[in-house]
Amino acid sequence: TTWWRSRTVEALSKERREISVESVLASPGDPTGLERQVEELQREVESLDKGEATLSLHSGRYFAARRRELITAPCPRGDAVRIRLVLLTLDRFERSETLHCESTDLSPPTNSVRVLNRGNHSTPPCFEIEPLTSLNDLEVEVGDNRLTFNGTLAPGDRLVIDTENNRATLNDSTNVTHLTDAFPWLSPGWTRVAAGGGSATGTLTITYRDLWV
């Protein structure tokens, strides 16, 4: 009773997906039950508009989206309602529901880890660096790319590098002035990630979601 189709569109100077869903809600002999189904659907769409819910078309993946239109058309007998829902995604990417997390040390020889992007598009990781000793000129290598923090991190500092939003936060204060090079993304498949700075000790944590287009 449900089908959907998707197409790529340009909206607000950005590539997005327009997803159309058509369905039939039915509750023969129970008009009150049918009314509850429609009300539940309307609540879910409102949650989607508020960013509190997502749309899943494939198992384990989701889109963040907002409605373009929601039409409910009762049938003459009153025991079914035809639904037409059109959504516009926030971007063109379908994300994994699983937030992957990998950790490695900052000191060699255990300062590298291989991470797997299961999607078909490069994905932006988030790096969290927490040194246990003073760390100078931190370098994060992602495949053939390198990101450098030209500064000093003290024991107990927490540096978060958000590559999706091109932002670095040091102890809750946004700070990008010491970053050089581009913010690296993870290519599809396996990628080696390494970090370090001299003889410093501590941890590097990598979090990311797979991306599909």
pLDDT at residue 179 tops 70: no
- Indicate the pTM of the whole model: 0.81
Cβ pair 186, 164 in contact under 8 A: no
Give the Cα separation of 108 and 90 in Å (integer). 40
Give the Cα separation of 172 and 85 in Å (integer). 40
Cβ pair 178, 152 in contact under 8 A: no
Q: How many CB atoms lie within 10 A of CB 108?
A: 10
Reported as a pLDDT band with limits 50, 70 and 90, residue 172 is confident
Distance of CA 37 to the CA centre of its chain: 30
The pLDDT of residue 134 is 87
The pLDDT of residue 195 is 87
Question: What are the pLDDT digits (tens) for 100-118?
Answer: 999 988 888 888 899 999 9
